[in-house]
Amino acid sequence: MIARAVRWLFLALIATFLAAPLLVVTGVSFNGTARMSFPPAHPGLLWYGTFFADKGWMAAFTLSLGVATGAALVAISLAFPIAYVSWRYRSRAARWLETLARLSFVLPLVVLAIAFLIFWSALGHVGRIENTILSHAVVFVSLPLATIALGFRSVDPALVEAARTLGARDEDVLRTVLRPIVLPYVVSGTVFVFILSLNEYIIAYLVAGFEVETLPIKVFNNLRMGFQPTMCVGAVLFMAVGILAFSLVAASGDLPKLLGGRAR
């Protein structure tokens, strides 16, 4: 009985802690005046109108979506071959690449950002959208790598053997046996990179922040110039995209299993 109450209280406190800032931002976005107050004064959709009518904010928002899409696609094009070769051939080269890919995720972000800043400057290729896309792709590649590797590990070897016995070549096995099993893992890996790239600030800022102003960069720049509830609208949109994307993953697959937990 007491154990139950303690457990409930603990979960409620954590949930409050995790939800509080999100609730405040959402609340402030509904203010009817330029004041950043919570609870909102004269609630209304004033700042949503401002956001969608403002070319600058909309440009930052669509630019962020474009960068994130590009980063997610590039990351998958890197992660899938590595995970496949590692599973199919137990190749040492693939394992080396895996280590290299993991490395970039476990290092302090700010250090990566400086390394990328130096890299793109040394190439003389500054302020381009490709810088942001490629940098995000290689920093976050370890996530799809992990999910896709999980996918390949969940394949029953007997299935593959049966297909081979019936004369299937590698391409056939890949297309008919592996694709349906591994696809949900590929999708969830793509979503991870998309959402993380959408929200990443310091790398995006250092590699091309002046020219490629994504939404987090724009919000950050606005933080110094004084607040406006429009910033909250941007934040709310980003949260909505995150909730939508992860809910879709959860609805279309087995989320606990995709995250490495026990299957249903």
Partner 1 sequence: MLTAGRAQIALWLAWPSIALVGTVAIPFLLLLRISLAAPDPSGLWKSVLTLDAYGALLNREFAGALLYSLGVALLVATITVALGFPLTYLITRMKRRPQVVWLVFLLVSLSLSDVLNAFSWQLLLSKRGGLTGLLVLLGIMSRPESLTPSNGAVWASLVYGILPFTVMTLYPSLSQLAPEVVEAARTLGASPLRAFRTVVIPMTRQPILAAFVISTVVTLGAYVSPLVLGRPQSWTLAVLIGNAALAGHDVPRAAAMSVCLLGAVGLLGAATVWITRQRPAR
Q: Which of 251, 264, 257 is nearest to 150 (CA)?
A: 257
Quick check: bond before 256 cis, omega within 30? no
**Beta carbons within 10 angstroms of residue 164's beta carbon:** 14
Applying CB under 8 A, among 36, 65, 129, 155 the residue interacting with partner 1 is 36
As a residue count, the chain comes to 264
Which residues within the stretch 95-124 sit at the binding site for partner 1 (CB under 8 A)? 97, 100-101, 103-104, 106-119, 121-122
Half-sphere exposure of 214 (CA within 13 A, CB side): 30
Applying CB under 8 A, among 81, 125, 161, 169 the residue interacting with partner 1 is 81
Applying CB under 8 A, among 206, 208, 212, 233 the residue interacting with partner 1 is 206
Q: Does 186 bind partner 1 (CB under 8 A)?
A: no
* # of chain residues touching partner 1 (CB under 8 A): 90
User: Which residues are CB-neighbours of 166 under 8 A, at least 6 positions away?
Assistant: none
By CB under 8 A, which span of 53-61, 84-92, 151-159, 160-168 interacts with partner 1? Answer: 84-92
Q: Which of 83, 116, 85 is nearest to 102 (CA)?
A: 83
Provide, rounded to whole angstroms, the least separation between the CB of residue 229 and partner 1: 10
Separation between Cα atoms, residue 251 and residue 68, nearest integer Å: 22
Provide, rounded to whole angstroms, the least separation between the CB of residue 25 and partner 1: 5
Q: Does 55 bind partner 1 (CB under 8 A)?
A: no
Which residues within the stretch 123-142 sit at the binding site for partner 1 (CB under 8 A)? 134-135, 137-138, 141
